Structure 1
Amino acid sequence: MRTPIGSFGCLIATLVLGCAHESEGPLATASVPASTYDATVQGPSPAAASSELERDVHVDRSATEALSRMGDYLRSLPKFEVRADTSTDLVLDNGQNASYLHETVLDVQRPDRARAEVLGSRKPRGIVYDGRDFVIFNQGEGYYSRNPAPPTLNGLVHELATVYNIEMPLVDLFYWGNGKVDELVLTSAQDLGLEKVDARWCTHYAYRQQGVDWELWVERGSRPLPCRMVITDTTQESRPRHAVTYHWNLLPAFKASTFVYRPPPGAHSIELKPAFDSPLQEAQ
C-alpha cells in the first residue's frame, strides 16, 4: 500500500510558515494549509503562476477574499474547540483509492494552550501543550515524549514542522490565521453559491492550482468559519481525496486538566529526536 505523494498539506503551496516534510512520526497527518506561494515548497514560480492566472477566466476575487476574511476571523478567536470528521484516501498498490476515516478533536486557548487528539480505529494519539512543554503521545503504541516548547502556540507549530517534521493535527487552522493569501499561485477561484453543510448555510468555493483542486465551504454571516474542505490530488491517476467536515464550539469551558498530560499506566517515555532532514539540522 502506498500513500499519496507527500501529505495533502504539502500539495497545496503553504501559507507563510510552510509545511512539514513527509514524516513517519506519530502525528504525521494529512492537513491542508491555505493557498499561498512559498519558495521553500516545490511549485510554480510567481511569474509562471501569474501567467496561468491570466489565461483562466474563472478567478473570482470574492473567492480569494473569502480566504483572507476566514483567516482573519480564525486569528481573532481567543479559544475554541473543533471536532473534525476526516476521510483520507490512500492509494493501494493496484491503483485503487482506499478511504481511511478518523476524528480529530482540537482544543485551543491562545496564546499558549492546546490539545489535539486523533481518534479512529486505533487508540488516541496526539499532542498536549501547556506553554512550557509539549507532549507527543500514542496510546496504541504505548509511548509518550515530553519536550521543552516555545512560549506561544504559533511558535510550537513552526518548531514541530521545521525541527521534528511533524504537523500539528488540523494545522491548516493555524496557517489560515497567519498571513495574506497570495493569489499568484491560484489558477482558478470560483464562488459556487450557498449550500447546507449539516444545518449551516455555507458559501461553496472552488480553487485550482498546480497539482491540486480544492473546495472550501465557509459559514455565511458574522462567523466565517470553515465548514467543510475537500482536496483532490490531480498529480495521480486515481485522484485521491482528503475531506474534512468541521464542527465548532467557540465558547468551550475547558477544565484545567485539558492541557495537562498524565501518562496512563504502562506508558513508556521516549526521546523525540530532531528530524535529520529538517531545515535547521541541514543548516548546522
Structure 2
Amino acid sequence: MQEMCDFLAEQPSFGCEYISATEISSAAMNHRQEMKFQFRLQRPSRLALVGEEGPMGMTVVSDGKQLTQYIPAFERYVQDDAPENLDDLFNGDAVMVLMMLGPAGGFIPTGGDGYCDRMMSGVTDVDEAGVEMVGSIPCERFDFKQEAFDWSLWIRKGEQPVPVKMSVDISEQAAEMGALPEGATLLSTVEMKDWNLSPQWTDEDFRFVPPAGAKLAESLMEGIGAGGAPAVHPLIGEPAPLFETRDRNEKKVTLEAVMKDQVVVLDFLGDLVRPVCRCVAEGGSGDGKV
C-alpha cells in the first residue's frame, strides 16, 4: 500500500480511465450501473475527472488556479479558487461532486502520504491475500477491515505498482437499513484502466468548456425550492416528450408504442435509495411487478 502511494507521488503526471460502479446481486438478478471518467493529474495542483458515460456525467477540473464542478443533470457548474495542493480537494465538503461519488470519490489516486492516510483512515486490520489476476494484469490483493465496512484493493505487481481495482462491500449496512433483501449483496467498485505514466498534458487537458445549456451558478444546489423541494419544472402539466430506450433484455422500447390508450408511469431509480436497492435485488419494482 505504501509502495503504491510513494510510486504515484514520484510521478509528475499520469492518467487513466476511471470506472465507478454500483453492483447489486441476488438470486433474482444482477444489476450493475457504472460511470466512466477520464482521469488526468499534473502536479502540483492540476486534476481533471471528466465524466464520459453514466447517469450523472459529473466533472471536476482544477487547472491550478480555478476549480470547476459540473453536473449535467443540474445544468449548472460552479467555480472557485483551486486548492494549493491536490490533498486539499478531499478535505471537508468543498467538492460536492467527489462526495456524490461515495467511496469512489475518496479513492481517486493522487498518491503521497495524504492519499495513503485517506485510504487507511479507520482501517483496523489488513490482510495480504496474495496474487490475483484482474483481467490480464497480475495484481497483489489486500483486504481491509473497518468498523463500517470491509474493502479490497488490487495493486499491479512489478515496477509500476498502480491501483487497478477497489471494491467496497456495503451489503451489511444496506441490509441493516432495510435496503437489501436477505442474501443480496451491494458493492461499490472502482476500476482503473489504461494507465498513462508519461503523458504530455497541455493547458487544454485541464480547461473546462461549459456545454451548451450549462449555466454558471453560485451553488450546485441553486434552484432547489423551499423546504428542499425542486423548483417546478416547466414540463409539469405538458404532454410527455417522446423518447426511446432499452429494457433489461436490450430490446428497444419507445414511449409512443407503450402509451397507446393506457397510462404509463415512469419510475426513476437511484441505486443507493433504500427501496430501490431492495426492489432491484428482488428483480422488480417496489410493488413486486416488473
Relative to the length of structure 2, the TM-score reads: 0.60
The answer on whether the counterparts of 1:218 and 1:224 sit within 8 Å (CA) in structure 2 is: yes
Secondary structure of 1:221 counterpart: coil
Identity of aligned residues (%): 23
1:73-102 alpha-carbon deviations (Å, 9 max, x no partner): 2222211112122221479xxxx9853211
For 1:69, the equivalent position in structure 2 comes to 3
Q: Structure 1 counterpart of 2:51, which letter?
A: V
Q: Structure 1 counterpart of 2:190, which letter?
A: V
For 1:244, the equivalent position in structure 2 comes to 190
**2:134 & 2:42 partners in 1: Cα distance?**
26
For 2:203, the equivalent position in structure 1 comes to 256
1:162-207 alpha-carbon deviations (Å, 9 max, x no partner): 4455527643235763346698954442222212212221112222
Deviates more, 1:194-203 or 1:115-124: 115-124
Q: 1:171 to 1:80 in 2, by over 3 A?
A: farther
Trace 1:2-21 onto structure 2 (pairs within 5 A).
Answer: none
| Among 162, 176, 182, the residue aligned to 1:225 | 162
| Among 15, 19, 37, the residue aligned to 1:104 | 37
Q: Does 1:195 align with 2:128?
A: no
**2:166 & 2:80 partners in 1: Cα distance?**
32
**2:82 & 2:98 partners in 1: Cα distance?**
15
Secondary structure of 1:224 counterpart: coil
Q: Which runs of 5+ in 1 are unaligned?
A: 1-66, 275-284
The answer on whether the counterparts of 1:154 and 1:174 sit within 8 Å (CA) in structure 2 is: no
For 1:12, the equivalent position in structure 2 comes to none
Q: How many residues align?
A: 205
Secondary structure of 1:251 counterpart: coil
Trace 1:35-114 onto structure 2 (pairs within 5 A).
Answer: 67-89=1-23, 98-114=31-47
Q: 1:214 to 1:76 in 2, by over 3 A?
A: same
| Among 70, 73, 85, the residue aligned to 1:152 | 85
TM-fit CA distance, 1:258: 1.1
Q: Which runs of 5+ in 2 are unaligned?
A: 176-183, 222-290
Deviates more, 1:105-114 or 1:178-187: 178-187
Of the two, which has the highest radius of gyration?
2
Q: Does 1:172 align with 2:107?
A: yes
**1:184 & 1:80 partners in 2: Cα distance?**
25
The answer on whether the counterparts of 1:131 and 1:153 sit within 8 Å (CA) in structure 2 is: no
Q: Structure 1 counterpart of 2:9, which letter?
A: R
Secondary structure of 1:236 counterpart: helix
Relative to the length of structure 1, the TM-score reads: 0.61
